[in-house]
Amino acid sequence: MTTEILPAGEKAVALAAQLLRAGQPVAIPTETVYGLAANALDAEAAARVFEAKGRPKDNPMIVHIDMLDRLPQVVSAFPREAQLLADAFWPGPLTLVLPKAAGIPDAVSAGLATVGVRLPAHRATRAVIAAAGLPLAAPSANRSGRPSPTSARHVWHDMAGRIPLILDGGDCPVGVESTVVSLAGGPTVLRPGFVTAEEIAAVLDRPVATADGAHYAHTQAPPSPGMKYRHYAPEAELLLLDGTLEQFIHYLQENAAEKPGACALCFAGEEARLPLPALAYGQAGEAASQAAGLYAALRRLDAEGAKYIYARMPAGGGVGQAVRNRLLRAADFNVISL
């Protein structure tokens, strides 16, 4: 298959809509990461996404809409708390898990009675949905398990020859996948993201739980993407080191300085102090910059031939929780506390 990459202008959006209506997958930009979109009402179209990605079929997909009027195509109920969160965070990087509508095939929801839905902030995403006239199921546009793509060139690396079209909408400003919150029972964050549990709790005016992602490592039906399997992983072996900069330097000196193919993933300004080739993925204490830079940094280290990556663990809390989550998944929970 020939893969075309086009700037996300009016003609490219129209071509994407035509392909989507014909049941073909198309890579599209969003504010979080690039998504591999398909008609969410078509099981065969969804199957093409799984095939292109090599994605396990028990991993549910998130459905994207361009306006609230499209909700009845996706969910069978939209309770008051969902409306409160939509008013506060849509358009934006928040996914709500709700009872699915009858038209959503099991291929999209992984056989679950619920489905994740969000209204993205990226104008090109919404333009494609509107032009296609369809809700779009769109997991990240990468080979399954790899770091998610935050630029069109990342998508090309993983998907060239597998899909017909990539829309280039520039780099994704958020850089990590959407927050996923379930409203089945008490509100629970299933996957942390740019919208934090604290912000959700403030809107709902009640506590919000956070799911233990490790609990779903071996279950059959995780309720959200990103809760099962190793995710976001580079080709290199990744080890997380949790401690101060001085402890990080000492560990590298003692354990990695002479190791062929070893490199460090650190915070801006630390590179010159490290005994290994190093790449920064954000500013220390600035989780938004870490989120925006993480996947691109992991992909760059792979491209440069890294065999072992020793990564600085960021602080938790707020958006930092999302960065920690992605690093933990990418390292398969391989962490050393210094």
Q: Answer yes or no: is 231 within a domain.
A: no
37 is a domain residue = yes
217 pLDDT more than 90:
no
Q: Find all residues with CB under 8 Å of 55, minimum gap 6, and list them.
A: 49, 139, 144
- Percent of the residues in the chain that have a pLDDT greater than 90, as a whole number: 88
Mean pLDDT for the stretch of residues 310-328? 94
Mean pLDDT (whole number) for 304-327: 95
The mean pLDDT value for 59-73 works out to: 97
Name the pLDDT band for 223 (thresholds 50, 70, 90). Answer: low
**pLDDT one-digit tens code per residue, 194-209:** 999 999 999 999 999 9
**Could you tell me if 180 and 193 are in contact, meaning their C-beta atoms sit under 8 angstroms apart?**
yes
pLDDT, tens digit, 9 for 90 and up, residues 255-286: 999 999 999 999 999 999 999 999 999 999 99
* CATH value at residue 125: 3.90.870.10
The string over 161-197, giving b where at least 16 C-beta atoms fall within 10 Å of a residue's C-beta and e elsewhere, is ebbbbbbbbebbbbbbbbbbbbbeeebbbbbbbbbbb
36 shares its domain with 93 = yes
**Residue 222 — pLDDT band, cuts 50, 70, 90?**
low
Is pLDDT larger for residue 50 or for residue 214?
50
CATH number, domain at 295?
Answer: 3.40.50.11030
Domain that residue 141 falls in: 4-216
Based on the domain organization, do 212 and 241 belong to the same domain? no
- Alpha-carbon distance of 120 to 97, in angstroms, equals 15
- Cα-based distances in Å from 232 to 33, 90, 185, 283: 12, 25, 29, 20
Same domain, 203 and 309: no
The answer to whether position 222 is within a domain reads no
**The pLDDT of residue 1:** 87
Task: Based on the fold, state whether residues 209 and 241 are members of the same structural domain.
Answer: no
Assess whether pLDDT exceeds 80 at residue 219: no
Has residue 200 been placed in a domain? Answer: yes
CA distances from 123 to 6, 34, 119, 127, 132 (A): 16, 13, 11, 6, 14
CA distance 211 to 207: 13
Same domain, 244 and 326: yes
Instruction: Please state, rounded to an integer, the average pLDDT across all residues of the chain.
Output: 94
| Number of domain units in the chain | 2
**243 and 331, same structural domain?**
yes
Task: Write out pLDDT tens, residues 138-195.
Answer: 999 999 889 999 999 999 999 999 999 999 999 999 999 999 999 977 899 999 999 9
